[in-house]
């Protein structure tokens, strides 16, 4: 087993329409406004950007993300990542009752040298760090959508 490879899956149930959730998630450059661990997102070109992440542990990850799929009809947003993480991440936003369910899936290989050296002994800590980051993101998204003006279709 390659201890530097990770598969993540998170489910966020949100009291907002799928369209409103998709509209927020497709604007990656605004993630730092509502997701504290996403420190910055900078657009490089029409389909590519750079992002910096830092959660509870004292290290930062920097990735270049390239849009692979943006499909509002199916609620799918997918990126390919390079840099400190090599792999992909995907949001799938679906209706759920009166609200929406945002499914986050990610498969990556950690490329950051220190994290690779600590891959086996620190794996549980790295996994817990990811859980904390995702919880904060879910809280931020819910809060943002709860305060959105009610007359807007998308935030």
| Best CA proximity match to 106, nearest among 38, 9, 22 | 9
Q: Which domains does the chain have, with CATH numbers?
A: 5-146 (3.30.530.20)
**36-75 confidence digits (pLDDT tens):** 999 999 999 999 999 999 999 999 999 999 999 999 999 9
What is the structure's pLDDT at 90? 98
Residue indicated by tokens 């949001």:
91
What is the structure's pLDDT at 1? 80
Query: For residue 140, what are the CA distances in angstroms to 6, 46, 75, 84?
Result: 24, 26, 20, 24
**98-145 confidence digits (pLDDT tens):** 999 999 999 999 999 999 999 999 999 999 999 999 999 999 999 999
**1-25 confidence digits (pLDDT tens):** 899 999 999 999 999 999 999 999 9
155 — pLDDT class (breaks 50, 70, 90)? very low
CA–CA gap between residue 113 and residue 98 (Å, rounded): 45
What is the structure's pLDDT at 150? 56
What is the structure's pLDDT at 148? 73
CA–CA gap between residue 39 and residue 20 (Å, rounded): 23
- Mean pLDDT lowest for which of 32-36, 138-142, 150-154? 150-154
């Amino acid at each position: 087993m390659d201890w530097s490879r990770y598969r993540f899956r998170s489910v966020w149930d949100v009291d907002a329409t799928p369209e409103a959730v998709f509209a927020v998630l497709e604007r990656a450059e605004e993630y730092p406004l509502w997701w504290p661990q996403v420190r910055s997102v900078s657009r490089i070109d029409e389909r590519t950007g750079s992002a910096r992440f830092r959660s509870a542990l004292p290290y930062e990850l920097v990735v270049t993300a390239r849009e692979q799929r943006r499909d509002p009809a199916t609620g799918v947003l997918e990126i390919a990542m390079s840099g400190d993480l090599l792999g992909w991440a995907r949001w799938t936003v679906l209706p759920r009752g009166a609200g929406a369910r945002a499914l986050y899936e990610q498969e990556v290989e950690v490329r950051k040298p220190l994290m690779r050296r600590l891959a086996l002994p620190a794996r549980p800590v790295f996994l817990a760090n990811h859980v904390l980051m995702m919880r904060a993101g879910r809280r931020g998204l819910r809060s943002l959508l709860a305060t959105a003006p009610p007359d807007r279709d998308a935030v």
